Structure formats: C-alpha cells, structure tokens
Structure 1
C-alpha cells in the first residue's frame, strides 16, 4: 500500500560494480561470487519494496598475498540506478581492519548526517563495519541491522597461530558489536540463537534473483517459453545425461564424495561437470583423465553458469552434514539450482527450511553411496517427471524467495523495528525489549 512507511536504507558491505568485481575475480585466490550475487539481490529486493537505498562498499578482496593488490582507492560508482561510494583501505593483515573501520566512520558518518537514512543495513560479519554500526547506534544516527550470512571468526585449515588468535579476538568483538544493534537478518535461526540471542530476528535464507535472460517458471513440464524453464532441447547433448555441480571445489563441500558417487555409476551415457575453483582442481583433472565421463573443472561467469545449469539432467549439492558450521549455513546454490527448473539432489542440511522438502530429492546419507542412490532415483524418472519436479521447484523459489517477496519481508521487519524504537523514544540497544518478528519463525 502506498501509505505504508518505506525506510531509507544505507547498505554497508561489499556491493560493488560488476567491472570492479571482475577485476577482483581475475586476481584473487578466493571467488566471492555468492557475496556479489547476494549483495545485488538484496539491493533489488529492498528497492522492490519501495525503499530507497544507497551503497557504502569495500572491494571484497582477500587479504594480501591471496590478493596481490595492496591499496584499494576510494571513489564513487553507479549501477542499475543505485549510487554507491567505495571505501579505500590497505589490504594487509591488521591494517585492513583498521583502515576499513576508519573509512567507514568517515564516509558513513557523513552519509548518515547528509541523507538522514532511517536504517543502516550491514552485510556480513565484518568487524570494522559492525563496530561502525555500534558507533552509529550509540550516536542515535540510525537503526542498525546486520545481515549475518556466516558465523564470526571461522578458523580456516591453513591459518597460523597468529591468525587463529586474531580470529578468536574477532569473534568476541563481533558479539560485543551485535549487542548494540536493533535487530538482525540471518540465513538460519542458529546464527541468531548463538550470536545475537537477545535481538529481534528475520530468518531469510536467500533471494532468488536469476539473470534477467533466464525466463520465469510456471509452464507445463517439457516446455520452455516465457512461462516455463524446462525443455528437452535445452538439456544435455543427445544421448547423454549430465550431472552438474557448481561451487567451491573442496572436500569441505563434499566434492570428493560426489566424484566417488559418480564413478560408482556404470552408465556410459552419464557425464559429470564441476564448475568452480578450489583445492581439488588438480585432483579433479586427474579424475577426468581416469574417467572420460568426467569433464575437467571449469570456471564460468554467472550468466554462463546459469545457462549451463539449465542444460543438466540433475544438479547436486553434496555438502556433508556432520561439520560444525553447517547448522549456520544455507547453501545459496540451492535457490540458484531450483530457479533453473532442473531437479536437485542434496544432502539433508539442518539449515534447509521444511517448505523446500517437496521440491528437493534428499540423499538419505551424505556418503558417496547416499549421493549415488539419490542421483539414480532422479535419473530413473521419466523426462516428464523430471520436468514437472523441476518446474514446481522453480515456481516455488521465484514466488516465495524472489525480490518482491523477500523485499516486502525486509521492509516489514525494518518498519517494525522503527515503530518499536519510536515507541521507546530512542534507538534500541537490543536488550530484549523488542518482540521476535513473526515472519522470522519457521
């Protein structure tokens, strides 16, 4: 309704123009594709709900030497009609956090003062940005709402003792900053329960925002036009059935188990494609030489990847379920997979909401055998059955997780926080006085 409030939003995070993102991807060890995709889907969602949004962003670059660029300069940019300001920083361990914090304080304080934004949205658990948010909340500049996509202070296998100590410190600083915020948006309920238990929360596991060229899904199985995503002519090459995975090529994501599962299937007409980057690239090339049905790993841009996913027979998410971080995560690839209208096999991760169940084919276990059995069940379906399952999944994510639906949920949550704040006469410090947002419960 036109008389409903539409908060003005300043989004602090890593939402950069596509040309800068491509520059980073070409030089970085880490591939921040999901961060970039989610960031712009978030912008589109907020705008779809009628909320004006401006951007305050840092380049999503890994710390030197993983990214060889040391100095990132400040500047301004515009994309899709949205104005943004880039924060300059020094990309060295320790200095990166300090310089990003100082840049956020300088540019963020000026932006909030000049434009009078109602809400400071903070994308991610980045300590410099969260502590600027805590400062803004203390000043009463805006309602501060972080979007928690990961747990703080995650230790990586190759971290040395100094980095591990810094991550533990980072973990504590994040918790302290979150207590000063007005509410949180989280990918899974566990993130809020463990790291921001006293704050109002909105659980929003992702946003379905496929490239514009990808058609919407509502047509009958076995067709593809403006109303349907699936058709045999877009499938794999005649006589072949393609199993496709896209994401990090790592053991942590179960890629080795997927390869083992595939090699246990004898059908010569099957092919396995793996798209992404990671520690297993060389091993996968060895596997491709040993089994000609396995294609060497390949890295595609998002548009090319989505087109390739849409030609698969089945898409796979093999992530193991017994790792400590999985209760905090929702694999964003599931939304991307479902949006293509292709059947999806996945392990039963605890962060997958129950309303996804009818549209996914779950592996009974996360072992190679469990994955293989689930793949064989889908491959045994007729083309019409696979098409009907895929089309239903595409309709589901586009209607319930698209920018319009998710943007309205965000707007409603922010308005509720603002209303509660006005009722109390000051910016909330998140000490439990606000109710849990009903749309955040599943």
Structure 2
C-alpha cells in the first residue's frame, strides 16, 4: 500500500432519506436510515472524503403506492456533502431499471479511477453496478451487507427473491471488500477473505445519568418496543406474553408500522395495559426509552431463518442504559447475554419468563446491568469508532492513487 496518500474518495450508494423526509413514505426503513445517516456522519473524522451520497428514495411500488414517478432530489447534507436521490419510474419492473440506470450514469460522470464506491446493501441499487464500474472506470467496489432475505422465510419463495439470494452468493466474493452485519454472511457467502463484521452503531449516546424510571422504582413496569411490526420482530410473541401475564403493574408501549399493525391495535383495544402509538419521531422514541424499565428486541431466530440479519435496534437499545430483553442474536463481535436479558425459549412463555426475571431483579440491579451495556456501546460501537474500523479496512484492501 502507498501510505503517503491519506484520503479515500468515496461515493456512497444506498437508500438514504435526509432528516425531515422520513415520514414521506411508509416504505422507509427507519432503522436502516438511521444506520446510513450514522455512517455518513461517522466518516467525517476518518481518511474518507465523502464525495457524494446517491440514494434510491424508497416508495411502495404503484399501484400499492400512489407515486407513478419519483422526480428525484438534490440537497446538501451537513458537511457540504452532495446528496442525489435518483429519479425513477415507480412501476413494476421499471423501478429497478430506472434506478440502476440513474446510479450508473451519475457514477460514470463523477467517479474517478481509484475512487471507492460503497453500496449499502446490493439489492436496489444493484451491487452488480459496482463490478461494471470497476471494469469501466477502475473504481474499487465495496458493500455493506446488512440484510439478506432467504426465500420462503422472510420473503416469498419467488423467482425474484431466489435471483437476489443467488446474486449475493455470486457477487460478494467478487467485490473488493464486504462489511457484513453478521459473521454468518461472510461464512455462508464465501466472503471471509475479503470481509469484516460491523453490527451497526449509534450516532449519539445519552449522558451517564440515572434514568428517572429506574431511580424512582415506579408503581408501574413499562416495556417499550419501537420498530417494524412484522412477524420476524416477535410482535405476536410479545403480545401473547402480555396476555399470559396478569400483573396489573405491567405496561407495554408499541411504536411502529407494518403487516401486524392491526394485530397490535386489536390487542391494545382488548388490554388497557397495552398502548399503540403508531409512527412517531425518533426523538419521541428516545423520550419513551427514558421512561421505560425494559426495552424489547425479540427477533425471531428459530421459527424463521433470520441468520443474515442483526437487529441494529439492539445496539440503540443497549446504548440507552435501560435494560433490554432480547433473543440470542449474534453478529460475531459480542455476546448479548453479557449485557441484556436473553430469551432462549422463543415462545410466549419464554418471553413472559424474561419479563418476570427483569421485574424480580429490581431497580438497582437493572440499573447496573443497563449501565454496563451503555458503557460497552460507548467504548466500542459509536459510529465514529465503527467508521474508523471501516476506513482502516478500506485502506488494507486498496491502493490509493
């Protein structure tokens, strides 16, 4: 490697939605968007010079969504970073074609030989563009792979999703490098020789304070879940656990939207201890966390094949200092059981037992457990630290010209 050059010119390709636009479409993954925004901020103090962010702005495809055409956006992000949301036809078949054509055209014009193109996931925009640009422009192509769907598990067993799965199998070993959310992706997709694990991160950490909810031993015990209301996030397990538990002091607050929104609404109508708030801002979610005694992160790992996911929400929850109840998910660099209550029995009975264990241990024990987790995240998993790790990885894989 030529060490006298200190800057990596990077083009970031993903599905970024700028702050203030998050409510414009229900197709936006708020966890994924927070991750990408954290990355963009985190690269500020590294050897990476972020030239531009090229984004596919998510929308439900017509006619499920109302837009037939997305006209694109051009903005300047903090740090004077150019942001381009690619215009596209929001129609079946044509969406992927027009998004990929727009990304390719942009990079053919703006990318130089030796630049790094970093994809956040490789479905849309397609990571195959990176190999084409490497051939034509001489760029270095990397991908952050933060979810891979297994057909018949978390997505339909259709030709489209089979193609995407096998595209990952073929593509990942051929990239210059892979930043994966779990070690299982690197092993199963033959990318151990050109990959590292980065499970996610947090952009802002709360100060080391005693959360009022833990300090005052309140008369109620409030649990909070914020995220997609889908089967793989354990929504039905949490609701059945609440039905099993008769403790009058229990409260469960649920935030988010998804396929199980109606299920949550009906549960809240039947049980006054359950509150459903729908979609709220991230600052409002943070305020809810501060008033909670337990945060819920019940990712299904046994009934569904979710081995190529890692709930980045877990990192956010651990960073708050509030105790967390989670299933035994793992990315590869830490064991959740060291910092959270872990459910091995992925049934309503198992989740209920985890809730009761946290209640029984009391405020002082739970505060100590939460503070241990908060300190671990602050020392190891802020986006500034994760981006230093990523930038070092990039330097080991390329010759900067």
Given the alignment, which residue of 281, 297, 303 partners 1:317? 297
The TM-score with structure 2 as length reference comes to: 0.91
Given the alignment, which residue of 174, 179, 183 partners 2:177? 183
- The correspondence of residues 421-432 of structure 1 with structure 2, limited to 5 A, is none
Q: What residue number does 1:221 align with?
A: none
The TM-score with structure 1 as length reference comes to: 0.83
Q: What residue number does 1:20 align with?
A: 21
Q: What residue number does 1:83 align with?
A: 82
Confirm or deny: 8 A CA contact 2:74 2:85 kept in the other structure. yes
- The correspondence of residues 24-423 of structure 1 with structure 2, limited to 5 A, is 24=25, 28=26, 30-53=27-50, 54-81=52-79, 82-113=81-112, 118-126=115-123, 128-151=125-148, 154=151, 159=156, 164-197=158-191, 199-210=193-204, 215-217=206-208, 224=209, 230-232=211-213, 238-351=218-331, 353-419=333-399
Confirm or deny: 8 A CA contact 2:13 2:125 kept in the other structure. no
| Structure 2: gaps (5+ residues) | none
The structure-2 alpha-carbon separation of the partners of 1:184 and 1:369, relative to structure 1 and needing over 3 Å to count, comes to same
Q: Deviations over 1:198-235 (max 9, x none)?
A: 6510100101124xxx6333xxxxxx2xxxx5234887
What is the distance in 1 between the residues matched to 2:22 and 2:245? 39
3-state DSSP class of the match of 2:223?
strand
Once the 2 structures are TM-superposed, how far is the Cα of residue 11 of structure 1 from its aligned partner? 0.3
Q: What residue number does 2:9 align with?
A: 8
The structure-2 alpha-carbon separation of the partners of 1:411 and 1:68, relative to structure 1 and needing over 3 Å to count, comes to same
Once the 2 structures are TM-superposed, how far is the Cα of residue 140 of structure 1 from its aligned partner? 4.7
The structure-2 alpha-carbon separation of the partners of 1:299 and 1:75, relative to structure 1 and needing over 3 Å to count, comes to closer
What is the distance in 2 between the residues matched to 1:305 and 1:284? 17
The structure-2 alpha-carbon separation of the partners of 1:77 and 1:404, relative to structure 1 and needing over 3 Å to count, comes to same
Once the 2 structures are TM-superposed, how far is the Cα of residue 117 of structure 1 from its aligned partner? 6.0
Question: How big is the alpha-carbon RMSD for the aligned residues of Structure 1 and Structure 2?
Answer: 2.5
The structure-2 alpha-carbon separation of the partners of 1:177 and 1:355, relative to structure 1 and needing over 3 Å to count, comes to closer
3-state DSSP class of the match of 2:253?
strand
3-state DSSP class of the match of 1:309?
helix
Q: Deviations over 1:302-355 (max 9, x none)?
A: 111111112111011122221443211111111111111100011112446434
**Runs of 4+ deviating beyond 6 Å:** 233-236
The structure-2 alpha-carbon separation of the partners of 1:75 and 1:34, relative to structure 1 and needing over 3 Å to count, comes to same
What is the distance in 2 between the residues matched to 1:199 and 1:102? 31
Confirm or deny: 8 A CA contact 1:246 1:276 kept in the other structure. yes
The structure-2 alpha-carbon separation of the partners of 1:21 and 1:295, relative to structure 1 and needing over 3 Å to count, comes to closer
What is the distance in 2 between the residues matched to 1:4 and 1:405? 21
